[in-house]
Structure 1
Amino acid sequence: MAQNDEKKELRYGFTTGSCAAAAAKAATIMLLSGKVKDRVSIVTPKGTVFETEILDIQRAENEVSCAVRKDAGDDPDVTDGILIYARATYRESERVNSVNSVDNINNCDQRACGNEIDGRETEIHGCGSPVCITGGKGVGRVTLPGLDQPVGEAAINHVPREMITKEVTEVSEFFDNKLPLMIEIYAPEGDAIAEKTFNSRLGIVGGISILGTSGVVEPMSEKALVDTIHAELSVKRALGNDKVVVAPGNYGLDFIKSRYNYDLDKAVKCSNFIGDTVQMAGEMGFTSFVLAGHVGKLVKLAAGMLNTHSKYGDHRMEVIAEEAEKAGLPESYVERIKECISTDAAIDVIDEYDDIRNERQDKTNSGKETADEYKSLVDETADSGSDLVSITETGIRRIIMNNIMTRIMDTLQSVNPTGMKLYVIMFSNKAGFLAASDGAEDMIK
């Protein structure tokens, strides 16, 4: 019997990363065993088993390719139904004239396959190691810094790379294979699909990204998500809680756990529906509301966005650049912020200027800076009317983030007619704690 739509449980899907790992596993099994494999299963990082049919199997000497069809479940994902391919070859074998290959399939993404990505140790192997991973037709290439992978490498993020390496290594060990393997991930429809995404704006060109941290796609029906948030709030209120701690996603939850040792069973995840969550909490009678989130999400609130999904806009760099200009950053730095593709990159620009100012102020205080050097520094901020000493002593990043926090609070208060006390904590994965409204940290400890 069909269930009423209001009560229908949404179906989970699986990420492009899970599809790539499953296809790579199947291709490796067929390469090493010489036998056709029409179904495989893997365990995702979330712990969910992903079992899937293997499609479009192509076998040749020392080479096997196959595909897995992406199933996004009930999530409105533009990659739903796309075929994600993996080609497994021995690294000694050289193939030429393959329409799906990058320039040389025997050259893995060397930097991405290194021992470290952005300071993060990985399981991915470099050239000459047992498993090398590269991207082919329809998989994008990174062109700007600040993303998961280095510039020039295939847009296959680190968790999918780890998943692929794990599956291929286990199969290789099972068959006692001693030869290094090359795994090429490609998606023939990726070029066309990528035009429907924000990849080009993020600095990824030529195709889709192979993504996923849990391996599972959680459905994003807006009504269902808001209903779930409402239910969680309702339960916590029914248990007698006057205060609720909310985070948009896992980054926020991880932050409050690591910094404040907060019990995550008491927290609520609100996704992009921050405005709705504030309104619902107020209507339920909560007296205190603490929001902890990544700057990339919360800075959108400063722009007046109450739903922070990218389909409603971005405005992150506009807000940061505007506040940086008000705080006295020279025009050249403000323009650099506007060109940033991530909030971490924008903060790096601010910190770079902060460091220069502090270094020059130290020189001035110690008498090692000439009058001309000091005048040049003062001239940089003359148009803004900023005070050199007060800014350097306080830290210009702190000034900017505190001003952004003020704007965030103004936006949240606009949907808080009940007078519920609002508190906000903002952080970044790279810089850590950035700002908090008055009393916010005391409320969460």
Structure 2
Amino acid sequence: MTGNQKLKSGISTGACAAAAAKAAALALFKNKYHNQLTVTNPQGRKITVPINRYIKIPDGQGAVVIKDGGDDPDVTHGLEIIASISRTHDGTITIQGGEGVGTVTKPGLQVAVGQSAINPVPLWMINNALAEVIPPDTGCTVTISVPGGEAVARRTLNPRLGIVGGISILGTTGIVRPMSEEAFKNSLLPLIDMAVAHGYDQVVLTPGRMGVRWATNQGLPEKAVVEMSNFVGFMLEGCVARGIKKVLLWGHHGKLIKIAAGIFHTHSKVADARQETLAALAASLGAGPAIVSNVLACTTTEAIVDILTQERLTKVLDLAAQRASARAAIHVQGKLVVGTALLNMKGEVLAADRPARVIGRELGWHISL
């Protein structure tokens, strides 16, 4: 792709659902069948959405929109978003989730427990689209379905968020911006909200699902374990904004060692310095030039740990944990108490500073102080 080539935006599941509902309503109430329709987002922007096909259902009508992620496709790209509509006689409009749309089972999200996982903006867009075409005082039930949504949802954060049975119908603008790291970052914040909703003011931040498994295996409560991906600084700031008091940084030493160097976006394309950081710490504890050179020559941090073990320099890892905690606390201007635990690929703890042990014990981790 050249630097001048413009990336194509996509359409959110929420905008797809709104367009499908509008198409189904037009077919049912006005006998009109469109190849594309426009829906409006809360900012007033008109979004044009292709209609894939129509489905005849008993006592109603259905319409299908194919989810298009644009040039930043996610796991929902290509799924069918189906709206089925049928008349009712009570004058009210009911919008519900069907096959492949998840149900919220845990507090702390924008949608109440027991409700279909259709977020507020998509719900607003669906209601707004229906209001444009449904005759006054006319009642109907609209069901949003996503065939295959339950299987796809297993590859999302929904299981961690307590959304079962399918995907969420999402979107704040109706548009999916290509290459949006910001959207991914924001999708992680509800995990902090959920921890707060369950009464926690201290959480475990870990890079990914492997860290979640290691944490729960050690007795830490799953509801207090939050995936942060590579966005350490962003998630620390998110914790502060939500009233969290203490954070335990928990994960593989190869990822968390970067925090000890003051790196708060840990993707390898952004910053690395793993070897250099461990080499500098080893030198500060008395390692000679030969050991430092060997550390710098390693291609993995596992190999570095082997060298440190052979040279009886495992205190380097203790120092790394302490420095990671200190740098993280500085990053949020001391608004969090931070501890760090470094683990190997077996989920075994290689080093944990005292704040990590205190926070961990308070959360149920059985470790000595």
Instruction: Determine which of 262, 268, 291 is the counterpart of 1:414.
Output: 262
Cα 1:143–1:303 shift into 2, 3 Å: closer
Alignment of 1:210-221 (within 5 A): 210-220=169-179
1:339 aligns with 2:223: yes
Is contact 1:317-1:340 (8 Å) kept?
A: no
**Which digits, 9 at most, give the CA deviation of each residue in 1:356-385, with x for residues without a partner?**
xxxxxxxxxxxxxxxxxxxxxxxxxxxxxx
How many residues are paired up?
A: 248
CA distance in 2, matches of 1:202, 1:38: 36
Instruction: Determine which of 20, 28, 33 is the counterpart of 1:31.
Output: 28
Alignment of 1:18-417 (within 5 A): 18-59=15-56, 62-92=59-89, 130-172=92-134, 176-220=135-179, 272=185, 296=192, 312-313=208-209, 337-340=221-224, 400=246, 411=259, 413-415=261-263
Kindly state the Cα deviation for residue 272 of structure 1 after the two structures are TM-superposed: 4.9
CA distance in 2, matches of 1:294, 1:159: 16
Kindly state the Cα deviation for residue 90 of structure 1 after the two structures are TM-superposed: 1.1
Kindly state the Cα deviation for residue 46 of structure 1 after the two structures are TM-superposed: 4.9
* Aligned-pair identity (%): 32
Q: Secondary structure at the match of 1:52?
A: strand
Q: Secondary structure at the match of 2:49?
A: strand
Is contact 1:130-1:169 (8 Å) kept?
A: no
Instruction: Determine which of 335, 338, 359 is the counterpart of 1:435.
Output: 335
Counterpart of 1:27, as a letter, is A
Kindly state the Cα deviation for residue 51 of structure 1 after the two structures are TM-superposed: 1.3
Counterpart of 1:400, as a letter, is K
Kindly state the Cα deviation for residue 295 of structure 1 after the two structures are TM-superposed: 8.9
Counterpart of 1:162, as a letter, is W
CA distance in 1, matches of 2:58, 2:191: 51
RMSD over aligned Cα, in angstroms? 4.4
**Which digits, 9 at most, give the CA deviation of each residue in 1:303-350, with x for residues without a partner?**
575xxxxxx548589889x9xxxxxxxxxxx85x4334779xxxxxxx
Counterpart of 1:414, as a letter, is G
Is contact 1:22-1:68 (8 Å) kept?
A: yes
CA distance in 2, matches of 1:318, 1:339: 14
In structure 2, what is the equivalent of residue 308 of structure 1?
A: none
Cα 1:341–1:167 shift into 2, 3 Å: farther
Counterpart of 2:149, as a letter, is G
CA distance in 2, matches of 1:218, 1:339: 30
TM-score by length of 1: 0.46
State which drifts further: 36-45 or 63-72.
36-45
Counterpart of 1:202, as a letter, is L
**Which digits, 9 at most, give the CA deviation of each residue in 1:364-423, with x for residues without a partner?**
xxxxxxxxxxxxxxxxxxxxxxxxxxxxxxxxx87525x87xxx9992743399xxx996
CA distance in 2, matches of 1:165, 1:64: 17
Cα 1:315–1:218 shift into 2, 3 Å: farther
Is contact 1:25-1:164 (8 Å) kept?
A: yes
Unaligned runs of 5+ in 2: 194-200, 228-242, 250-255, 265-272, 274-326, 338-369
Is contact 1:143-1:203 (8 Å) kept?
A: yes
Unaligned runs of 5+ in 1: 93-127, 226-247, 250-270, 274-292, 306-311, 323-333, 344-396, 427-433, 438-445
Kindly state the Cα deviation for residue 150 of structure 1 after the two structures are TM-superposed: 2.2
CA distance in 1, matches of 2:139, 2:116: 20
In structure 2, what is the equivalent of residue 325 of structure 1?
A: none
Is contact 1:31-1:62 (8 Å) kept?
A: no
State which drifts further: 13-22 or 187-196.
187-196
Cα 1:142–1:129 shift into 2, 3 Å: farther
Q: Secondary structure at the match of 1:17?
A: helix
Kindly state the Cα deviation for residue 193 of structure 1 after the two structures are TM-superposed: 2.0
Counterpart of 1:53, as a letter, is P
Q: After the TM superposition, which parts of structure 1 deviate over 6 Å for at least 4 consecutive aligned residues?
A: 316-320
In structure 2, what is the equivalent of residue 13 of structure 1?
A: 10
Is contact 1:18-1:160 (8 Å) kept?
A: yes
TM-score by length of 2: 0.55
Is contact 2:101-2:150 (8 Å) kept?
A: yes
In structure 2, what is the equivalent of residue 106 of structure 1?
A: none
CA distance in 2, matches of 1:147, 1:219: 25
Kindly state the Cα deviation for residue 60 of structure 1 after the two structures are TM-superposed: 5.3
